[in-house]
Structure 1
Amino acid sequence: MTDSNTKRWAGALAGGLVAGLGITALLMSGERKSGEPSELAKLERAAADKLGLDTPPADQLPSAGEQTVIQGGHLILGLLAAAAYAASTDEDTPVVAGGLAFGAAFYVAMHWLVGPALGVKQPEWRADRATLAMHTINHLVFGLTTAATSRAAQHA
């Protein structure tokens, strides 16, 4: 792997982590404001139920330990997605086009295919417009952040 390619990969991973941390902050802030578990907490609990694990009551905010599992798993998923971006692009991939395509593909994969297939979330086509917009924007920003950070690191 060339030095430029190593930097591009490191930048993609850093971008995925930064974007994931930003979304984590938004989710946790939303929990504090609303007093209700985030959608991500609900997903984690649905997955835990599928595995036969005990979960807190549906309306209870996550404990610090549960938040660690929820947010840690989300950040790991973001890093894996960023690695997929780095593996499927090269140094000539346009930042905006590549980032938007990646973000959209990640959104479709997680919210339209994987989540419903695993039975941990409702199919996305049943979501209201506000939820669809929020999910789309979050994933597009994630894709753009990953692509831009990858490019910036490549040229650092």
Structure 2
Amino acid sequence: MNGKHMTGAIAGALVAGLGLTVMMMAGERKSGKPSELTELERAGARELGVRFVPQDDRLPDATEQAIVQGGHLLLSAAAGAVYAASVDEDAGVVASGVAFGLAFYAAMHWITGPLLGLKKPEWQSDVGTIGMHTLNHVVFGLATAAGAKALAKR
């Protein structure tokens, strides 16, 4: 495996993850409601038996936001590493990026989140939510693939 391919995939995933983080934080400020990512973190904390978990309607403070967004970026980096380990560096950006984004979306929202009790099953979501999640993960996959391709060829 090419180290540049791995580095590029992780960098692309981090850039995409950061973009999604900014969108979620802006949405929190605009709506006055915690983001879905904050809700997932709180559900996870409850599952782990954490005694103090902020109320569901309360916006995250700076410490909680750092935990939520830091965890999101770590997951993004790990996903980038999975992309690099599982996709050949000669793969096309569009095909591999879309496929990876959809696979990652399915793994997180359709399987892992519900199995861990962190979120309701995705099939119970409305069409708009499913569409938004699909689009976000396809863009994530494309950015990951583009990063991997850009550095692998240097």
In the alignment of these two chains, the number of paired residues is 153
The DSSP-based 3-state class of the residue aligned with 1:58 is coil
- Note the alpha carbon deviations across 1:10-31, whole angstroms, 9 max, x for none: 1001001000000000000000
Matched, 1:51 2:45: no
**TM-score, with length taken from structure 1:** 0.96
Amino acid at match of 2:44: A
Tell me how far apart the structure 2 counterparts of residues 130 and 64 of structure 1 sit (CA, whole Å).
29
Q: Find 2:39's aligned residue among 33, 42, 59.
A: 42
Tell me how far apart the structure 2 counterparts of residues 85 and 154 of structure 1 sit (CA, whole Å).
13
Shift of 1:51: 1.0
Tell me how far apart the structure 1 counterparts of residues 134 and 88 of structure 2 sit (CA, whole Å).
24
The DSSP-based 3-state class of the residue aligned with 2:80 is helix
Where does residue 26 of structure 1 map in the other structure?
Answer: 23
Tell me how far apart the structure 1 counterparts of residues 138 and 37 of structure 2 sit (CA, whole Å).
18
**TM-score, with length taken from structure 2:** 0.97
Moved over 2 A (4+): none
- Note the alpha carbon deviations across 1:18-73, whole angstroms, 9 max, x for none: 00000000000000000000000000000001111121111000000000100000
Where does residue 137 of structure 2 map in the other structure?
Answer: 139
Tell me how far apart the structure 1 counterparts of residues 106 and 36 of structure 2 sit (CA, whole Å).
17
